[in-house]
Amino acid sequence: QVTLRESGPALVKPTQTLTLTCIFSGFSLSETGMCVTWIRQPPGKALEWLARIDWDDNKHYNTSLKTRLAVSKDTSKNQVILTISNVDTMDTGTYFCARAVDCTGAWFDPWGQGILVTVSA
Amino acid sequence: QSVLTQPPSVSGAPRQRVTLSCSGGSSNIGNNAVNWYQQLPGKAPKLLIYFDDLLPSGVSDRFSGSKSGTSASLAISGLQSEDEAEYFCATRDDSLRGPVFGGGTKVTVL
């Protein structure tokens, strides 16, 4: 059974760097074809794709946020880490990680429960 | 403003059939598979339809997906109170080089 869970701070101050960790089980990111993605959802708004990391360590980013995002993986710990630098209030929202079944598409299954992050002074 | 356009809300009576639309363009829906997600209040999205019209194991066959040109649709037949949720369409956009989502449609059961 594949599961994912997000962890990180609930509150971050503007200009700080937000670090989120996705802890997963039921698959290995060293296995060919495996990918993990990050998606966020501002309160009451739509989903927004952020980043993806592939089994071969290739990384892909939302072009509008690319300069502030960094994704990495620790295969031995079954973890994927997302950092967002220089956060502001617009980064407030729920952050989800998910397995990207089709790495290049939008087929995500399953999703983590999500973590609500608030950016506020 | 989302790349994919969905109506903000749709409502229907119990046992009725409703259809949700998702409109895009040639760089997204017109050239890539569409997936649908159901998000119950306060929960994470759940995969409902993948590759335009395929049902994941465990998803009720009251849900069905279709695609034509640059538009996709999700139909819910035999509407039930448990179907009250937000529904999002998603696909890859070749111009943006990544996945894009619709703005979501809130389904209300009258």
Beta-carbon separation of B103 and A52 below 8 A: no
Mean pLDDT of B87-110: 97
- pLDDT given for residue A81 in this prediction: 98
- Tell me the CA distances in angstroms from B104 to A80, A81, A120, B37, B97, one per residue in order: 27, 27, 27, 9, 21
- pLDDT given for residue B86 in this prediction: 97
- pLDDT given for residue B1 in this prediction: 80
Give per-residue pLDDT as tens, B9-44.
999 999 999 999 999 999 999 999 999 999 999 999
Chain B residue with the nearest C-alpha to that of A108: B47
CB distance B28 to B98 below 8 Å:
no
- pLDDT given for residue B109 in this prediction: 97
Beta-carbon separation of A106 and B101 below 8 A: yes
Give per-residue pLDDT as tens, A72-107.
999 999 999 999 999 999 999 999 999 999 999 999
Chain A nearest CA to B20, separation (Å): 16
Q: Give the distance from CA B100 to its chain's centroid.
A: 13
- pLDDT given for residue B110 in this prediction: 95
Give per-residue pLDDT as tens, B61-96.
999 999 999 999 999 999 999 999 999 999 999 999
Beta-carbon separation of A109 and B2 below 8 A: no
Q: Please state, in angstroms and rounded to a whole number, the distance separating the CA atoms of residues A118 and B42.
A: 16
